[in-house]
Amino acid sequence: MSPKKSGTAKEAKPLSRIQEANRKAILDAALDVFAKSGFRGATIDEIAGKAGMSKPNLLYYFKSKRAIYQQVLEQTLSEWLTPFAELDPNGDPVEELRRYITAKLKMSESNPNASKLFANEVIHGAPVISDFLTTSLKALVDEKAKVIRKWVGEGKLAPIDPYHLIFTIWATTQHYADFDVQIRAVIGTQAGKPGFHEQAAQAVLSIILHGIKPR
């Protein structure tokens, strides 16, 4: 195998300018549509329309609806987990967690569709990413849980179960993206106002950080 090395995934194919543009247009449109309607509710026609092309043309770039979904989901996942992976074992615990929570809340604000896509997938049993959850994600969480447990052992955090702390953070930060409609409905006009998300961040940080400070 001298001319072509066999990588772990599809390879070669330098992807022409137009291919790159069209694939991106498709994935962007797909994120919108899948987030709004779920996998089953989304139609290829709507994605194609939003991407500015015909259905057969879209299927020229992705071989099936599921293939698009998988790609969008993968892309979203890695992006979504970046700030979590960056939790620094050597940093100040409260400061590290503050940074992480803030980053995730910011992501929920700037890209709620990514959050909704993921939520939808998991709520329906994670048919596409259950492997990822039990391998990559579990490994990453185990690693970070160890870090948190170390912090607790050093007295830098209140004695709290690391996993449930992580779940609590995920829950609150996702909530502001996934349930934005409910939040807007309940608090009325001030939801869209600038500064609302800063206020939300402050409240969440206040509760969680005070809840885990050593005492």
Contacts of DNA in 11-40 (CB under 7 A): 16, 18-19, 22
Contacts of 183 (CB under 8 A, 6+ apart): 176, 191
Interatomic CA distance for residues 12 and 174, integer angstroms:
37
Residue 65 binding DNA, by CB under 7 A: yes
Long-range contacts of 38-46 (CB under 8 A, 24+ apart): 38/120, 38/124, 39/65, 39/66, 39/69, 39/120, 39/121, 39/124, 42/69
What is the distance of C-alpha 69 from the center of its chain? 14
The smaller minimum CB distance to its own copies, of residues 61 and 84, is found at 84
The smaller minimum CB distance to DNA, of residues 30 and 165, is found at 30
Interatomic CA distance for residues 198 and 196, integer angstroms:
5
From the list its own copies, DNA, none, pick the one residue 43 interacts with, judged by a Cβ distance below 5 to 8 Å according to partner type: DNA
Residue 63 binding DNA, by CB under 7 A: yes
Of the residues 50, 53, 133, 150, which one makes contact with DNA according to CB under 7 A: 53
User: What sign does the dihedral 163-164-166-170 (CA atoms) show?
Assistant: positive
Residue 120 binding DNA, by CB under 7 A: no
The smaller minimum CB distance to DNA, of residues 22 and 108, is found at 22
The smaller minimum CB distance to its own copies, of residues 82 and 135, is found at 135
Burial of 97 (0-12, 13-18, 19+ CB in 10 A): buried
Residue 175 binding DNA, by CB under 7 A: no
Residue 104 binding DNA, by CB under 7 A: no
Interatomic CA distance for residues 140 and 62, integer angstroms:
30
Smallest distance, DNA to C-beta of residue 204, A: 37
Residue 64 binding DNA, by CB under 7 A: yes
The smaller minimum CB distance to DNA, of residues 54 and 134, is found at 54
Residue 128 binding DNA, by CB under 7 A: no
Both structure tokens of 164? 């449930």
Residues that bind DNA (CB under 7 A): 16, 18-19, 22, 42-45, 53-57, 59-60, 63-66
